[in-house]
Amino acid sequence: MIRPPHRSNLHPNAKPPEFGDWRADLPRPEEAEHYPPHALPEHMRRYDDEEPSAGPGLFGKILRFLAAISILLPINGVIIYALVHCLGHSSADMENVRFWLRTPIWFSLLGILSFTVIALLGIRRRTCLYIYVLGHELTHAIAILMCLGKIKGMRISTTEGSYVLTNKTNLFIALSPYFIPFWMLVWMALIWSMNRLSPFDTYLEWFYAGFGFWWAFHLFWTAFSIMQERQPDLFDNGLLFSLLIIVLLNFILLIGILMFFGLITPTEYLHSLQECSIQAYHTARALILKWACA
């Protein structure tokens, strides 16, 4: 059967790929990031493929949008506001210079500053992009295995397109690279293992410096990948729905990190979360009553 010429794998409304864009045209239409062969977007399928499932459909998209507006958005607001409120009550401790000179905080900040300088100066940008793309696709692959799926193929490239072919996809598989800091976890596991095998004096310094560096790396390139390109990962599950989940899970990770470093305590945050939740409830109730009586 004669097939039509290959069409771009990019989103129909996407801007042309720029330098280092890992979503440049792929050699075959069916190759796409983490899409199962039977569920590719319409503009990426062969004409002789079997008709895929309809996906969430209009009703599913409407439900996700309503869930994003009515559930995820308020939850995000309450969690973030509670964190700001909690940090405000801890400001007295943070004014102490010795607090910031503690090994975990000081070296983590040095790691964050190191990556910030590299990002601002554009040092080894192509290399950093390749490392991010590698971690991005490996995270997809691990998520697929965790969901008992099969990996049928993988390619890592910043110029010819990166993808993972699988027989299974879901929300966790699609969004996992955006809230799981792959290289930060790899670094922590590596340094911890090295210290267990052969303890060294500067273990904590290297551990926390790398922690800060790779966490900043994760945040920067996650934001870059979301803003630079119309990601199929996000649009397949609803843009607003996906973004709010990503923000929520990254803030939960941030709260865990702040607790780990002693900037806030679980008790303080839970108390702040309770207060903010009650305040948000009364505010929402007042607005609804005011709107209903108008």
pLDDT (tens digit per residue) in 81-137: 999 888 877 666 667 777 778 888 899 999 999 999 999 998 888 889 899 999 999
38 falls within a domain: no
Closest-CA residue to 161 (of 49, 31, 50, 22):
22
143 falls within a domain: yes
The two structure tokens encoding residue 248: 């929520």
Residue 93 — φ and ψ, nearest 5°?
Answer: -70, -35
For 221, counting Cβ atoms within 10 Å of its Cβ (0-12 exposed, 13-18 middle, 19+ buried), the class is buried
195 falls within a domain: no
136 falls within a domain: yes
89 falls within a domain: no
Expressed as residue numbers, the domain containing 141 is 124-180
Residues in the chain: 294
The whole-number pLDDT of residue 160 equals 67
The whole-number pLDDT of residue 273 equals 92
82 φ/ψ sector (left φ>0, alpha ψ -120 to 50, else beta): alpha
Low-confidence ranges of the chain (pLDDT < 50): 1-11, 14-55
Cβ contact 20:158 at 8 Å: yes
The whole-number pLDDT of residue 112 equals 95
- Residue 103 CB partners (closer than 8 Å, separation 6+): 204, 205, 208
Kindly write down the DSSP assignment for every residue of 128-179, as one continuous string. Answer: HHHHHHHHHHHHHHHHHHHTT--EEEEE--SSS--EEEES---HHHHHHHHH
The whole-number pLDDT of residue 56 equals 60
């308020």: which residue's tokens?
A: 74
- Residue 122 CB partners (closer than 8 Å, separation 6+): none
162 falls within a domain: yes
The whole-number pLDDT of residue 142 equals 93
User: What's the chain's average pLDDT?
Assistant: 79
172 falls within a domain: yes
21 falls within a domain: no
The whole-number pLDDT of residue 188 equals 94
């060294």: which residue's tokens?
A: 200
The domain total for the chain is 1
- Residue 90 CB partners (closer than 8 Å, separation 6+): 263, 264, 268
- Going through the chain in order, the beta strands assigned E by DSSP cover 151-155, 163-166
The whole-number pLDDT of residue 194 equals 93
